[in-house]
Amino acid sequence: MMKLKSNMATCAAVTLSALSMAGFALAQTPTAAQTPVPAARGPAVNLALEAAQTALATCQANGYKVGVSVVDSAGVVRVALASDGAPQRAVESGNGKAFTVITYKTSSAEVAKKAEKDPDLTAKLNADPKQRARAGALPLLVAGEVIGAIGVGGAPGGDKDEACAAAGIDKIKDRL
């Protein structure tokens, strides 16, 4: 009799646990009022890595210690690399520049130019610590749509960062 009660208690606990999990799963299922967020587009991780490695190698060949970030269309980092000895701010700069490209759908240099003439844009950029409106990041495009970005930071000048980013894009653009 004692064994039967023990088995019944175990069955009850398992049943309650199963019902809890089923309720949790139903609570996570989107309803008509909750539209699921579409997956971000972006380069395949192998292409993102290849672009980042090429950008890094290009900058290193010129003696620059840089950080390189490749992000998807939602600004999620796919790949981040840093030269040996690159300062943290170089890594943060590359990432911030790439995120700026995703936000404004144009190069970070173009955003910087627009900000020079638009105090509202400047204020918006300054209010968001994830943004970096300086030359050095370019969009990754497929059929004219921004699917990601590559940002480089740490070279002595944004134009040099941007040249490294362009080398990374050139390496993979035909396979995006």
- pLDDT (tens digit per residue) in 44-70: 999 999 999 999 999 999 999 999 999
Which pLDDT score, from 0 to 100, does residue 34 have?
Answer: 61
Q: Is the pTM of this model over 0.75?
A: yes
Per-residue pLDDT of the chain in tens (176 residues, 90 and over written 9) = 445 444 444 444 444 444 444 444 444 444 545 666 667 899 999 999 999 999 999 999 999 999 999 999 999 999 999 999 999 999 999 999 999 999 999 999 999 999 999 999 999 999 999 999 999 999 999 999 999 999 999 999 999 999 999 999 999 999 99
Give residue 48's pLDDT.
Answer: 98
Indicate the CATH number for domain 45-175: 3.30.450.150
The closest alpha carbon to 62, from 152, 171, 174, belongs to: 152
